[in-house]
């Protein structure tokens, strides 16, 4: 009996330690979706359509962008000294092949997740790492947004390798801010999800699931 209690205590300790070293960002429930801040990109004709669903791995967000561009933002503090790694599970059902993503006319992504650090008094002064599921570039490619050098597009997945397949990726956000922006960020101020096709006038379908930060 004592040995059973010891095993249970060990399991509880491991579970608590694991939970403390993970920070879930989105739950992808109807309630959460109604509370997230929706931001339409200036000049876009339409809003991206976001809906929630579930599968055997939990809740997910479906994003349909038909000549559209709007994002879902969530302000929250993320301690990058404790949990520097962002983890994203996502899928592109319909991509944007053929566009030049590092140009203004082609700067669209079927799926992207922004890690945001406030560095000034206005949103335009913020710095961001834009983790993207590319339709045209290889994993590891990175380039400044053609609209602002304060946002860096960093390719973590590509439909050239995984189209209509769930993919899980990981990135060290703290190191990326140091690498791309030359700043040491101890705490993030928020995250945003976006699927956008306003520049290319195309249509994309994407899914997001299990977005969280971890210690390793």
Predicted confidence (pLDDT) at residue 4 exceeds the cutoff of 70:
no
Q: Mean pLDDT score of the chain, rounded to an integer?
A: 90
CA gap 206, 209 in Å, rounded: 10
pLDDT value of residue 125:
75
The boundaries of the domain holding residue 135 are: 24-214
Which pTM was predicted?
0.88
Predicted confidence (pLDDT) at residue 59 exceeds the cutoff of 60:
yes
Flag whether 190 is in a domain: yes
- pLDDT tens digit sequence for 116-131: 999 876 666 799 999 9
Predicted confidence (pLDDT) at residue 12 exceeds the cutoff of 70:
no
Q: Sorting pLDDT into bands at 50, 70 and 90, what band is 194? A: very high
Alpha helices in 41-190 (DSSP H): 173-181
Flag whether 1 is in a domain: no
pLDDT value of residue 3:
45
Strand order in the sheet with 142-144: 37-40, 69-79, 187-196, 109-117, 127-134, 151-158, 142-144
Flag whether 127 is in a domain: yes
Flag whether 199 is in a domain: yes
Count: domains in the chain: 1
Secondary-structure breakdown of the chain: helix, strand, coil percentages, each rounded to the nearest 5: 15, 45, 35
Flag whether 10 is in a domain: no
Q: Which residues contact 118 (CB under 8 A, 6 or more apart)?
A: 125, 126, 189
Flag whether 18 is in a domain: no
pLDDT value of residue 121:
64
Flag whether 186 is in a domain: yes
Q: Tell me which residue of 168, 188, 204 sits closest to 68, measured CA to CA.
A: 204
Predicted confidence (pLDDT) at residue 180 exceeds the cutoff of 50:
yes
Flag whether 17 is in a domain: no
CATH, residue 208: 2.60.120
Predicted confidence (pLDDT) at residue 14 exceeds the cutoff of 60:
no
- pLDDT tens digit sequence for 66-95: 999 999 999 999 999 999 999 999 999 999
Q: Write phi, then psi, for 103 (nearest 5 degrees).
A: -115, 160
């Amino acid at each position: 009996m004592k040995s059973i209690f010891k095993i249970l205590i060990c399991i509880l300790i491991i579970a608590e330690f694991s939970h403390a070293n993970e920070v879930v960002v989105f739950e992808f429930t109807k309630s959460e979706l109604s509370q997230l801040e929706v931001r339409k990109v200036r000049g876009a004709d339409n809003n991206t359509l976001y809906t929630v669903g579930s599968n055997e791995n939990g809740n997910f967000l479906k994003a349909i962008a038909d000549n559209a561009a709007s994002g879902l933002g969530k302000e929250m503090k993320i301690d990058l000294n404790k949990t520097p790694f962002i983890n994203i599970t996502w899928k592109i059902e319909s991509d944007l092949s053929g566009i030049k993503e590092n140009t203004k006319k082609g700067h669209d992504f079927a799926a992207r997740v922004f890690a945001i650090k406030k560095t000034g008094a206005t949103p335009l002064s913020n710095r961001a790492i834009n983790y993207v599921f590319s339709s045209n570039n290889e994993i590891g490619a990175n380039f400044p947004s053609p609209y602002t050098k304060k946002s860096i597009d960093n390719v973590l997945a590509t439909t050239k390798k995984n189209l209509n397949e769930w993919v899980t990726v990981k990135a060290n956000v703290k190191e990326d801010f140091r690498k791309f922006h030359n700043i040491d960020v101890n705490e993030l101020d928020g995250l945003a999800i976006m699927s956008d096709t306003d520049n290319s006038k195309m249509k994309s379908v994407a899914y997001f699931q299990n977005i969280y930060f971890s210690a390793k």
